[in-house]
Structure 1
């Protein structure tokens, strides 16, 4: 991949995806019209949010029960059951707050950026419905500071809703520092409370004491868009696509060595190879794919038949993660690519706990030595030992993701590791990088 993934699909006209529209829900308006949906477009297609149509009272079917029956899980990466998050906040005594996490700090992902560009009111409907379900009077929409055009579009969408007097809660947009860990839920809350956008470890959690010390629901933008559709169409409709254990659709950013990179919507359980095919197919023979983003898992090409579900990917040590699928050709050096990703993850840590201050740089340095042919006799054993020390020790899950990436590379590319250790770097290690890595954002700027 020699250039960043475009925020919209390259056709730019909303042409139907390969295979038709059978599994398109969140992006249906885009494919139907070829333009971002205004509030008038949105209301014409979907009608007002059910809570508004009911005169400000609860939806005819209690939302939390509908979401639970639908089996909706978070689309931000963790896959936590959405109904459980709603109940945890709704059960508190104080007035709650809702935070829309649209930061999308995973560098390889464009799904939330795409969704907010073409269907912002679907996300905002979901946020308003979630606010009604948990008893919130304020919704904070968190966007990255370095995408001013995205912020202006969101501000315009919020203005449309205010002029239409559509919502009975306050909706506010915020532009936050765009660092890798600034999208972590406690980092968002800490920034909204006046601090830097750094993760905060330890109790109490956001659900007990978040923004303004009030119970706070933090939810990914895509998750809220699904919630808005479930509220309108019901859990049975949502379950018509996907698998029994993991129903519904999800947005996936397909990038790398494919002819038509971009954002796709697909039913859960779609094989990885099918997703690559819908992105135009590989442009050259593939050696592996990176699933889940920079903190994801490398999978060899022989695993491309695997369905995109947590259940099917678990035996491979993988998960859908942030909904990213990067195709790496055989002509690239996977160890060199991994070393660059680890260097970025080390530079993007909050530097407030041992695994981030010491462990991540050490792992990144060892992996760079392996990739560039500067390995000593004990490097591999030292690298595996250091990688094993990272998980479950940090103030957030940032070290866990880096450990997952490093460990999967050592396993998936064991033959390459042996060659680099015995003979030095392969010829592919000297070729231009295939996965773009953005500049790191220093922690001192996260305010």
Structure 2
């Protein structure tokens, strides 16, 4: 049996991007009637046929089962007011100024004000600067209704595990007042195993920003160590393994690219909020800058190596922003920063990704390759950008047979180094050069 609070039956979800899409599926699985709203015709058409436009395990099956039943998709909320309206619209940052764009959120709040009543619980799910729920959403509701029930309940899931985490992670809820908070706890109590109330709208806003900025900083330290190891001629994985083994302090993260829809923009949203309050968060800004520089640094290393050997064709494995858990999300993908470097070097770039479509690879300037092994036969160098399971399973002896490849840059160190170097192919990775000793097999204790 599904658990559902009687006060909430019909839920509106405004914004059918990743956050709204996965939340809609999770609510439907819990027995709620969900009305998803979006303004993009292609999204509406695809979802109306029960075909989600974003890859996420379990979402396809949920939409196929419940579209037209528990799930309804349209360009507006239904005429009869929903019990709760959850705002999941995007809040991108400007590429030049890095200031957050909040007009989508304002428009969503205005739509709710037009189609709903003060009885509707309004939930902000989008990631926003601290103070935004009160400053942008609340005035539009008060202008229309005179009063409002309003909560901030940030989305905190990881792609690839969203449906599990939506019910398993604590749902943080901050309310405008006690009545709002009580309603927010009731609503999310029908979704998740645990609801964590916080003291205000602003506290809930800061929780989401803190989660993602902290993650960005953690990864940045691993990347800083990789940059240092590269200069010292050492292997960062050896250093990290020795640093972490049975040591009772927080583990050092392995070096790797940091992207996605959240980590690539939330530090800027945090910085924007901090600067409005009179404080510039230097650590967060430095971490973001380092994580953005890393793909450019790698691209330059690969381009330089090809220039030395006279090669002109590069094969890139992995175009989404990450490979595990698998996703087709291109937001914050490393390849976006790498391609200008490859273009300037005059390289021909072949591309493969298990989930990213050929048209997307072409749009980013690559030549799609269907068979993962086929690209090796044409490439002078191979760059592994993501740690997708398909790449971890590659038989490198077979892949390099008949290939003219002379360099494999394995960003995540997931390939068979010994098998690669045995064929006379140069092997490198993040912070690791061919001159550095390979990391030993990690110690395994009983």
Instruction: Indicate the structure whose relative CO is greater, using CA pairs within 8 Å and at least 6 residues apart.
Output: 1
TM-score norm. by structure 2 comes to 0.30
Quick check: which has more Rg, 1 or 2? 2
TM-score norm. by structure 1 comes to 0.30
